[in-house]
Amino acid sequence: MSLAGLRRLGAAAAVAGLLALPEVAGPFWMGLATQMSIFGLLALAVDLLLGHAGLFSAGHAAFFAVAAYTTAILQVRHDVPTALAAPAGLLAGTLLGALFGLAVRTRGVYFILVTMAFGYVVWGVAHRWSSFTGGDNGVTNVPFPALGPLRVASHTQYYYVVLGVVALCALGYRVLVRSPFGLTLRGIKASETRMRSLGVDTGRHLYVAFLLSAALASLAGVLYVYYNRFVNPVAASFPVSVEAALMAIVGGTGTLAGPFLGAVVVLGLRNWVSSFFELYAAAMGLVFIATVLWAPGGVVGLAGRLRARWAPGAVSPATAR
């Protein structure tokens, strides 16, 4: 069987496994799979900038949290239906991205610091403006989504909703990164000066990429608040932004599957390690260090290297010399 055939077979098996998961797994594993899908989407949003434009954002939790808070407040306090509350949450996070997108005027460590500062502003508002956000208590009792007669009544049903939304986003993302716009972003990452010399408005392209990335992160926030049915300032905290970037790096930046594989690794390890080791964050740090040193391409890159090494007819470096 050809490599393309093996990939299609693997993709079909993965889809079949995800669809059958509620039938073979308990509530814990199904809930963990739902979280992996949601945070994989957040990591995908981060990777649109990191893997394709070369910009490391340290503030994507801001869009994630603003979308979640907007949706939760509208549904819980004002009885706004899902058909309006969810789009409002998505719009609020995206509009915040339109403002924070001014950060693309900077590069390198300055971009990281500016996005980090923006993120801390949102976290500070969520934490201190307790009369509006609920402070540390947050907003609770968020109902399951409902569209007219169609109502989600359980976490199992919501798992399929998340799976469908994430699948559609992944397909749209694939089209985007293969489009001329996506290729331009890769060109900017490789050499922004050269792209400018070709007449490309790099600032505008990066701003649009930031806006699209914020929209994806906002959608992840909306999905999160309906799953968690609760949101507090932790959702806007700096560690959430760092974990999303870590997922993209561990899985493999610049790839479609990488952020989701990274979410599986990071959330899986966090749940496993934290069950017997209090300092699980140290284990996450070791995973990140090991990835940077020995697998800079992440899980996807490592799998590609192993496949190339063991593929029939592959030539080893020593033989090539």
pLDDT tens-digit map of 47-101: 999 999 999 999 999 999 999 999 999 999 999 999 999 999 999 999 999 999 9
In a domain, 55, yes or no: yes
**What residue numbers bound the domain in which 94 lies?**
12-237
For residue 125, the one-letter residue type is: V
In a domain, 201, yes or no: yes
Q: In whole angstroms, what is the distance from residue 283 CA to residue 274 CA?
A: 9
Segment 93-113, tens digit of pLDDT? 999 999 999 999 999 999 999
In a domain, 58, yes or no: yes
Counting the structural domains of the chain, the total is 1
In a domain, 140, yes or no: yes
Segment 121-166, tens digit of pLDDT? 999 999 999 999 999 999 999 999 998 888 998 889 999 999 999 9
In a domain, 262, yes or no: no
In a domain, 275, yes or no: no
Segment 175-234, tens digit of pLDDT? 999 999 999 999 999 999 999 999 999 999 999 999 999 999 999 999 999 999 999 999
Q: Whose CA is closest to 117, among 169, 58, 76?
A: 58
- What are the structure tokens assigned to 24, written together? 């073979």
Q: In whole angstroms, what is the distance from residue 74 CA to residue 86 CA?
A: 9
The sign of the torsion formed by the CA atoms of 40, 90, 141, 241 equals: positive
Res 319 pLDDT > 70: no
Q: In whole angstroms, what is the distance from residue 239 CA to residue 64 CA?
A: 13
In a domain, 145, yes or no: yes
pTM: 0.92
Mean pLDDT, rounded, of the chain: 90
Q: In whole angstroms, what is the distance from residue 79 CA to residue 62 CA?
A: 24
The sign of the torsion formed by the CA atoms of 27, 28, 32, 33 equals: negative
Q: Which residue, chain included where needed, has tokens 């609020």?
A: 92
For residue 241, the one-letter residue type is: S
In a domain, 2, yes or no: no
